Amino acid sequence: MQDGFAAANHVTTRRWFIAALAVALFYSALALRLAFRAPYLVQDDARQHVFWMWRFVDPTLFPNDLIADYFQAVAPAGYKLLYWIFARLGVDPLTASKILPAAIGLVIAWLAFRLFMELMPDPRGAFFGSVFLGQLIWLKDDVISATPRAFVCPLFLGFLVSLLRGRIFLCLVTVALQTLIYPQAAFVAIGILGLRLIRWRDGRFSFTSERRDYILFFAAIVLFAASLLPFASSTSQFNPTITATQARALPEFQAHGRSQFFVSGPSYWIDAPRSGLLPNGNPPHIIALALAAPACLMSARRKFRRRVLLQAALAATAMWAAAHLFLFKLHLPGRYSQWLFQIVFAIGAGATLGLICERMEVWRARLDQKNATLAARASRIALLVLGAAILIYPHLQKNFPSNSYVAAQPTELYEFLRTQPKTTLIATLRTAGSLIPVFAQRSVLVSAEHAIPYHKRYYETIRRRGDDLLRAHLSSDRHQLRAFIQQYNVDLILVGREPLTGAKVRKSRWFGEIAQGSQTGERPVLLDFNDTCKIWENKSLIVLDAHRIEQMIQP
């Protein structure tokens, strides 16, 4: 009898597990359709983190390119290795960045279901928790970016599942992988292992007597330190990191700046994307269900292994606070906590719905046969309506999955630039500057997208380049333009047919933030060369031969 019950329970679990994977597969298919709907598309953040990986395909690309060298240096070793493997298999980095999110979504659904079953063996709750987490990750642009933070959820879920199952080796493997791909998650994981050494007994705190807990904790620290060394050494050439005082003095860090951080009001601490403790933009029904979970669990008297989630929340909050205290030495505070609370919200919401379904069954079992039949039909209809509402809700949003892809227009520009020598350096104030490296595989002097201000040695050079480009572009002095071309050995200058005035520049992203000291002459001298030095043009853009301009301007 007991074997038959176990078999039936296994079948039920498997059905709900398959249903969770089916929903995840549907979401991943939507993401793939979004990524491949046009040939010249790239995810917003991939413009920074993926473009330099064309070096895996052709090592001669981006020679002596500070921007490519910087983003290669700050990329975690495990992240680089993954894209290198794709390149060896014949998959270019741009294509890989579009395929990976779909696979990550499926892995997250699988691990979220397994984690829930470890916390509370309820397949319905596990289904809802898996679906909710899938919705949360696709409503944001973390996973779809295929950048290091896209891997934080599956790696941390794998760590929690291994920890709850007592798999020490797998625990250590996941800690190492987190360190190699997303070190912020490894900090939180080690915090959990440290908190496991503390027990509450007889009204006071004490240390555990479990030897394996100590072994796991110290082994994880050793692995973390060893795995972090390559990342620390590769970024050292661009240190020091910017201080909080220095950042407050820059418009780039203020509200609406290139790297907006110091926003006003309580949002700075609560849900601002870079500084807040909690993720923003969460669906209200998921938050409501998650907040109801503790009361529902207590009311139902269900066993729920909540300790690990409490430890995770405490460790993430502690790291978030430490990141604020040592701003920006530990990078951005929100990178330690926001993804963790997404997992907690999804698990809590799933537990609440699972318990509601369970209560409906208990209520139905207490009725007589006739009323039980009617109640069974009513509960099935209610469950179907509830399930449909949960599945339909994300599609009522404007962007699901999050459409953070950027289109390259006109495509002819990038095709032309790709025919230029690999040593070509392009200077432009146009937004195309952020897309040229990834689509044309050619170097740009500077662009708004690549102006990341956290490492001083890198950013001081980039900001100086931006300022020099602005002055040369807007100047009415021919000799200033010639000096700029010679100083940076610029090969091509991309301009628009419409004159770019100082007023327009000051409204543009990043360039407008550093343009405060740039003055516009009566007429930018660069306009004098639009006809004589152009080598490519269309209705809105012109590519100028910078060396031809240099020759035409007499010393």
User: Bigger pLDDT: 399 or 501?
Assistant: 399
List the structure tokens of 423.
């040593």
Residue 375 has pLDDT above 80, yes or no: no
User: Bigger pLDDT: 411 or 507?
Assistant: 411
Q: How confident is the model at residue 37 (pLDDT cuts 50, 70, 90)?
A: very high
- The least confident of 208-217, 460-469, 504-513 is 504-513
- Report which secondary-structure segment, H or E, holds 103: helix 93-119
What are the CA-CA distances from residue 277 to residues 11, 153, 319 (Å)? Answer: 40, 17, 10
**CA proximity to 424, closest of 440, 413, 412:** 440
Mean pLDDT of 262-278: 94
Residue 372 has pLDDT above 70, yes or no: no
* pLDDT (0 to 100) of residue 114: 96
Mean pLDDT of 517-535: 79
Q: How far apart are CA 8 and CA 10, in angstroms?
A: 5
Q: How far apart are CA 262 and CA 10, in angstroms?
A: 51
Q: How confident is the model at residue 39 (pLDDT cuts 50, 70, 90)?
A: confident
Q: How confident is the model at residue 507 (pLDDT cuts 50, 70, 90)?
A: confident
Return the HEC string of 168-217. HHHHHHHHHHHHHHCHHHHHHHHHHHHHCCEEEECCEEEECCCHHHHHHH
* pLDDT (0 to 100) of residue 357: 81
User: Bigger pLDDT: 21 or 355?
Assistant: 21
Residues of the chain with CATH 3.40.50: 408-552
- The least confident of 198-212, 243-257, 328-342, 418-432 is 198-212
Q: How far apart are CA 255 and CA 264, in angstroms?
A: 8
User: Bigger pLDDT: 345 or 399?
Assistant: 345
* pLDDT (0 to 100) of residue 208: 82
User: Bigger pLDDT: 441 or 235?
Assistant: 441
For 371, phi then psi, to 5°, come to -70, -30
Q: How confident is the model at residue 366 (pLDDT cuts 50, 70, 90)?
A: low
* pLDDT (0 to 100) of residue 497: 85
Percent of the chain whose predicted confidence (pLDDT) is above 90 = 69
* pLDDT (0 to 100) of residue 327: 93
* pLDDT (0 to 100) of residue 517: 55
Residue 170 has pLDDT above 80, yes or no: yes
Residue 202 has pLDDT above 90, yes or no: no
User: Bigger pLDDT: 379 or 287?
Assistant: 287
> Mean pLDDT in the chain?
89
Tens of pLDDT, residue by residue over 60-94, are: 999 999 999 999 999 999 999 999 999 999 999 99
- The least confident of 141-155, 217-231, 267-281, 374-388 is 374-388
Residue 376 has pLDDT above 70, yes or no: no
Q: How confident is the model at residue 102 (pLDDT cuts 50, 70, 90)?
A: very high
Q: How far apart are CA 316 and CA 334, in angstroms?
A: 9
**CA proximity to 452, closest of 258, 184, 273, 238:** 258
* pLDDT (0 to 100) of residue 521: 55
Mean pLDDT of 316-339: 95
* pLDDT (0 to 100) of residue 120: 92
List beta partners, residue 199. Answer: 206
* pLDDT (0 to 100) of residue 8: 46
List the structure tokens of 57.
């395909």
List the structure tokens of 550.
């240099």
Q: How far apart are CA 44 and CA 411, in angstroms?
A: 17
User: Bigger pLDDT: 98 or 306?
Assistant: 98
Residue 205 has pLDDT above 90, yes or no: no
Residue 493: helix, strand or coil by DSSP? strand
Q: How confident is the model at residue 235 (pLDDT cuts 50, 70, 90)?
A: confident
* pLDDT (0 to 100) of residue 4: 44
List the structure tokens of 480.
């200033």
Most confident of the following: 154-158, 285-289, 534-538? 154-158
Class of domain 408-552: alpha beta
User: Bigger pLDDT: 277 or 305?
Assistant: 277
Residue 222 has pLDDT above 70, yes or no: yes
Mean pLDDT of 208-223: 91
* pLDDT (0 to 100) of residue 555: 72
Mean pLDDT of 55-61: 95
For 327, phi then psi, to 5°, come to -60, 130
* pLDDT (0 to 100) of residue 1: 39
